[in-house]
Structure 1
Amino acid sequence: MNRIKEALEDKGIKQTWLAEKLRKSYNMMNGYVQNRQQPRLEILNDIARILEIDVKALIVSSKNK
């Protein structure tokens, strides 16, 4: 699971903007945001860099489950 949706909301950024920055389709980005698909680690790193946050802020720990 990821926290991309929450990070975008916190920053006031639309997923269409992020999709353009990553050169990904809206459908791919929507899959990430809705947790239907999980991005590769390098994509998570790119998202964190673009949003100027720590990559750890995009990851939900499964340790507590």
Structure 2
Amino acid sequence: MNRIKEVLEEQGRSQKWLSIQIGKSYNMVNAYAQNRQQPRLETLKDIASTLDVDVKDLIISTKP
């Protein structure tokens, strides 16, 4: 699970903007944001860099 959608909303940015920045289709970014599909680690690093956050800020921990 990831927090891409939440971080985009916090920053006032759109999924379309992110798709352009990282060179992925809007549909792919939307699948990431809706947690229908998880990005590869390299893509997650690109997203974190683009949003100027740490990679771990984009991931929801599964441990209590």
- Which category of TM-score, normalised to the shorter sequence, fits these structures? over 0.9
Root-mean-square deviation (Å) = 0.5
TM (norm. structure 2) is: 0.97
Which residue of the partner structure matches residue 51 of structure 1?
A: 51
5+ residue gaps, structure 1:
none
Distance 2:19 2:8 in 1: 12
Which residue of the partner structure matches residue 40 of structure 1?
A: 40
Matched residue pairs, number? Answer: 64
Question: Percentage identity across aligned positions?
Answer: 62
Distance 1:11 1:47 in 2: 13
Displaced runs of 4 or more, over 6 A: none
5+ residue gaps, structure 2:
none
Q: Which amino acid aligns with 1:32?
A: Y
- How far apart are 1:63 and its partner, in Å? 1.0
